[in-house]
């Protein structure tokens, strides 16, 4: 990357609808903040444009002040300015109230709200005389920036910019993403960046939308190797005839690349984290995690016992493997007697090294919220049942709670991520930063970042890493059992080995150090 770094600094403007920690729903918010910080640290000028939601968490904004206002779209738009994690952020507040609805997503007119925002963001750049080198938009919610720019603003004086489009999750707004891509037929410089591996079903959508493009286009899709091979396989299996006969697809397959997400090592830092009781590094990980576990137990009213603690931090959606999450919580559900038991029969070695099957107890903390009220209700019922039957060992917190998430990452022994598909996944990376061992379903980015201690030594070595967790295949409870059993037996049976594993995962680098250079390379490539 030496060549890339020597090039002159760039001005990058992100148009985004989420940003951690002030307006975060999921990983998109984390990426906007942490990627921007990493790129800024490399000497570039980065700005973020965000809607000014009435539910913004302003306590995390420094020097918040009125910046200017302008008229557009039949209303006045007030622009505010304030720093978040050292980044300069402009907040657009249309006086028509589109963002005064108490939430980020979840309105019937989300498409209209964010479409308006994208347009207003370009208008703001134009009216303020900004000339960014890169306009970086994200997912369906800011995809319209791509075509609005090419249709209008490029001709009005913002002509210098190139558009980089990151698809974080194809599940959302596939049609809009398709439209952003389709638009790039005409725009010759549109750069689509598919950051992460996506699930197979999504690739079906993806490849069919490629095939539907009739005219020539210039899109660089960025996928990781895993997805690339999946795509090639899919394309060759399902669409072999079309692809070989299609002059559009074949020449562009070589442009598929991928960039994994990273986590921000300052935001997620057990040595400097105001939400956990004592600072720790890999040198005192056992002590640090013990203290965090005790605080977590106390905070949530769990019994202060030395049991393995399983943590789950997630949006409760089908993507995240709800049925497997439930299984991981319940472990055994004897329907007749309605007995819920949070225990595992795991094989344990005694002092003589003989193996016994023993019932081992676990404690579980889930932090999750469901956008779908039916799923939320379902979990509320489950929480009521579990809290009355096993209140001292299980807690389901059905809300969004950033501070609590920090304490769980630190206090849990394991973080379970049983996603059905996962473009990249940040929870397993954050877990490792806090010395918690990931137990994951082997899919997408989870597969690319978690290497099973029993099965993935070679795969890890190929990445110059040591194994760092437990994983399972399949999408049924037997898979969860298989991974969790091994994890829990290691905790009970080989504590020294387990503690060394915690230390080891903490020392692995899952920050933006490497991915930010990949992004820079992408930005420069977009300008060529």
Distance CA 474, CA 458 (A): 21
Q: Judged by CB under 6 A, does residue 368 bind ligand ADP?
A: yes
Binding status of residue 199 toward ligand ADP by CB under 6 A: no
DSSP 511: B
If binding is defined by CB under 6 A, does position 367 make contact with ligand ADP? yes
Q: Which is nearer to ligand ADP, 179 or 315 (CB)?
A: 315
Q: Is 426 in the site for ligand ADP (CB under 6 A)?
A: yes
Q: Which stretch binds ligand ADP (CB under 6 A): 20-28, 59-67, 111-119, 156-164?
A: 20-28
From 313, 322, 342, 370, residue interacting with ligand ADP (rule: CB under 6 A):
313
Nearest of 195, 166, 193 to residue 18 by alpha carbon:
166
Q: Which stretch binds ligand ADP (CB under 6 A): 41-49, 309-317, 353-361, 466-474?
A: 309-317
Task: For ligand ADP, give the closer residue by CB, 92 or 415.
Answer: 415
**Residue 410 interacts with ligand ADP (CB under 6 A): yes or no:** no
Name residue, tokens 């907040």: 91
187/429 with CB nearer ligand ADP: 429
**Residue with smaller CB distance to ligand ADP, 368 or 418:** 368
Residue (365 or 487) nearer to ligand ADP, CB: 365
Residue 522 contacts ligand ADP per CB under 6 A: no
Residues β-bridged to residue 264 = none
Q: Please identify which residue in 16, 18, 30, 505 interacts with ligand ADP, judged by CB under 6 A.
A: 30
CA dist 50 and 24 (Å) reads 11
Report how many helices (DSSP H) and strands (DSSP E) the chain contains, helices first. Answer: 20, 18
Contact residue for ligand ADP among 33, 314, 468, 508 (CB under 6 A): 314
The SS3 assignment for 494 reads: coil
User: What contacts 301, CB < 8 A, 6 or more positions away?
Assistant: 391, 395
Q: What is the CA radius of gyration of the chain?
A: 24
- Residue 515's closest CA among 251, 326, 262, 334? 262
- With 0-12 / 13-18 / 19 or more C-beta atoms within 10 angstroms meaning exposed / middle / buried, residue 396 is buried
CB 275, min distance to ligand ADP, A: 11
172 scored as a contact of ligand ADP (CB under 6 A): no
Among 18, 27, 79, 116, binds ligand ADP (CB under 6 A): 27
Structure tokens given for 94: 């249309």
Q: Which of 13, 22, 23, 26 binds ligand ADP (CB under 6 A)?
A: 26
Cα–Cα distances in angstroms (integers) from residue 430 to residues 54, 318, 427, 475, 510, in the given order: 29, 22, 5, 23, 8
For residues 195, 511, 230 and 525, what is the CA-based torsion angle, rounded to 10 degrees?
Answer: 40
Shortest Å, Cβ 485 to ligand ADP: 24
Question: With contacts defined by CB under 6 A, how many residues of the chain interact with ligand ADP?
Answer: 19
Separation between Cα atoms, residue 215 and residue 354, nearest integer Å: 68
- The reply on whether position 427 binds ligand ADP by CB under 6 A is yes
**Site of interaction with ligand ADP (CB under 6 A):** 26-28, 30, 313-315, 367-369, 400-402, 405, 424-427, 430
């Amino acid at each position: 990357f030496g060549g890339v770094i020597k090039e002159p600094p760039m001005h990058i403007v992100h148009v985004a609808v989420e940003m951690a920690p002030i307006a975060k729903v999921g990983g998109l918010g984390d990426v906007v903040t942490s990627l921007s910080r990493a790129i800024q640290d490399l000497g570039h000028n980065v700005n973020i444009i965000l809607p000014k939601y009435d539910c913004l968490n302003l306590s995390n904004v420094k020097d918040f002040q009125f910046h200017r206002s302008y008229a557009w779209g039949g209303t006045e738009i007030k622009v505010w300015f304030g720093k978040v994690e050292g980044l300069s952020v402009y907040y657009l507040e249309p006086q028509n109230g589109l963002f005064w609805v108490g939430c980020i997503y979840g309105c019937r007119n989300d498409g209209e709200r964010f479409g308006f925002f994208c347009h207003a963001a370009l208008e703001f750049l134009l009216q303020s005389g900004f000339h960014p080198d890169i306009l970086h938009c994200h997912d369906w919610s800011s995809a319209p920036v791509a075509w609005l720019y090419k249709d209008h603003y490029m001709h009005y004086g913002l002509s210098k910019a190139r558009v980089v489009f990151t698809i974080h999750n194809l599940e959302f707004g596939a049609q809009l993403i398709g439209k952003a891509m389709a638009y790039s037929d005409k725009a010759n410089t549109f750069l689509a960046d598919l950051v992460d591996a996506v699930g197979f079903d999504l690739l079906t959508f993806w490849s069919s939308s490629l095939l539907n493009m009739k005219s020539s286009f210039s899109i660089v899709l960025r996928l990781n190797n895993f997805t690339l091979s999946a795509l090639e396989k899919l394309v060759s299996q399902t669409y072999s005839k079309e692809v070989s006969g299609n002059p559009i697809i074949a020449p562009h397959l070589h442009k598929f690349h991928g960039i994994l997400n990273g986590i921000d090592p300052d935001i997620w830092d057990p040595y400097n984290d105001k939400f956990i009781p004592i600072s720790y590094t890999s040198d005192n990980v056992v002590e640090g995690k013990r203290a965090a576990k005790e605080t977590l137990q106390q905070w949530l009213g769990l019994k202060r016992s030395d049991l393995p603690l399983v943590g789950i931090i997630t949006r409760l959606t089908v993507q995240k493997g709800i049925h497997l999450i439930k299984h991981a919580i319940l472990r055994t559900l004897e329907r007749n007697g309605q007995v819920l038991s949070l225990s595992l029969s795991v094989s344990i070695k005694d002092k003589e090294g003989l193996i016994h099957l023993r019932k081992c107890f676990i404690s579980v903390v889930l932090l999750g919220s469901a956008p779908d009220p039916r799923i939320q209700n379902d979990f509320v019922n489950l929480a009521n049942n579990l809290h009355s039957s096993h209140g001292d060992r299980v807690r389901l917190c059905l809300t969004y709670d950033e501070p609590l998430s920090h304490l769980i990452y630190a206090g849990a022994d394991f973080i379970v991520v049983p996603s059905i598909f996962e473009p990249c996944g940040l929870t397993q990376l954050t877990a490792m930063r806090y010395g918690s061992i990931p137990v994951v379903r082997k899919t997408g980015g989870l597969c690319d970042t978690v290497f099973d201690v029993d099965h993935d030594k070679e795969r890890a070595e190929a990445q110059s890493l040591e194994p760092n967790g437990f994983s399972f295949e399949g999408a049924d409870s037997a898979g969860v059992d298989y991974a969790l059993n091994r994890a829990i037996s290691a905790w009970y049976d080989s504590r020294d080995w387990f503690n060394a594993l915690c230390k080891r995962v903490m020392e692995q680098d899952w920050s933006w150090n490497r991915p930010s250079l990949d992004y820079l390379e992408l930005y420069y490539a977009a300008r060529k």
